[in-house]
């Protein structure tokens, strides 16, 4: 999902990337509407290091707090990895996506 949102592949989600992604899918639009999301507030809440974009670890807490519930509520409706994939029995779910993110993060931290 992170890669699907990150259109310019700089490993950071900008304000407009996140906004565009969520406004282009039904569940995202619904979520924004129902929660009265303010993009600036959302960003300042999750942009922990205040660099103006959402990095991998910042996205993880955003995903956990907000999106995991939606993904779990309607599995199959939400593309976790962009186009294609998800054809294996069961398909991806929020929990396995979070653990794969954590694994990726851990790997990154080791190299830093
Ligand atoms: Ca980006
Ligand atoms: Ca940041």
Ligand nearest to the CA of 18: 1
Is residue 56 predicted with pLDDT exceeding 90? yes
- Contacting residues for 31 by C-beta, under 8 A, at least 6 apart: 22, 37, 66, 67, 70
What is the C-alpha separation between 38 and 43, in angstroms, rounded?
8
- Residue 77 host element (H or E): none
Kindly give the distance from the C-alpha atom of residue 23 to the centroid of ligand 1, in angstroms, as a whole number.
16
Q: Which residue carries 């069961």 as its tokens?
A: 90
- Tell whether the model's pLDDT for residue 17 goes beyond 60: yes
The bound ligand whose nearest atom lies closest to the alpha carbon of 7 is 1
The domain tally of the chain equals: 1
Q: How many CB atoms lie within 10 A of CB 52?
A: 10
Q: Is 13 helix (H, G, I), strand (E, B) or coil?
A: strand
Tokens representing 2 are 């992170």
- Between the CA of 107 and the centroid of ligand 2 the distance, in Å, is 19
- Ligand at minimal distance from the CA of 12 is 1
pLDDT digits (tens, 9 = 90+) for 72-82: 766 555 555 54
Q: Is the pTM of this model over 0.75?
A: no
Secondary structure class of 93 (helix, strand, coil)? coil
Q: How far is the CA of 91 from the centre of ligand 2 (A)?
A: 30
Domain that holds residue 31: 2-111
Q: Which two tokens mark 45?
A: 């809440």
Range among 22-36, 65-79, 90-104 with highest mean pLDDT value: 22-36
Segment 23-54, tens digit of pLDDT: 998 888 988 999 998 888 999 999 999 999 99
- ∠ CA 16-27-34, nearest 5°, is 85
CATH code of the domain covering residue 12: 1.10.238.10
Looking at all shown ligands, the one closest to residue 57's CA atom is 2
Query: Residue 13 — φ and ψ, nearest 5°?
Result: -100, 115
User: From ligand 1's centre to the CA of 2, what distance in Å?
Assistant: 9
**In this predicted structure, what is the pLDDT of residue 84?**
47
Ligand nearest to the CA of 15: 1
């Amino acid at each position: 999902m992170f890669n699907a949102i990150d259109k310019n592949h700089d490993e950071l989600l900008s304000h407009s990337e996140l906004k565009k992604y969520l406004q282009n899918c039904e569940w995202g639009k619904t979520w924004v509407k129902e929660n009265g999301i303010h993009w600036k507030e959302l960003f300042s809440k999750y942009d922990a290091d205040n660099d103006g974009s959402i990095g991998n670890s910042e996205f993880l807490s955003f995903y956990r707090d907000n999106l995991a519930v939606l993904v779990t509520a309607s599995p199959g409706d939400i593309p976790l990895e962009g186009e294609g994939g998800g054809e294996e029995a069961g398909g991806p779910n929020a929990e396995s996506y979070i653990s794969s993110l954590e694994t990726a993060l851990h790997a990154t931290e080791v190299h830093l």
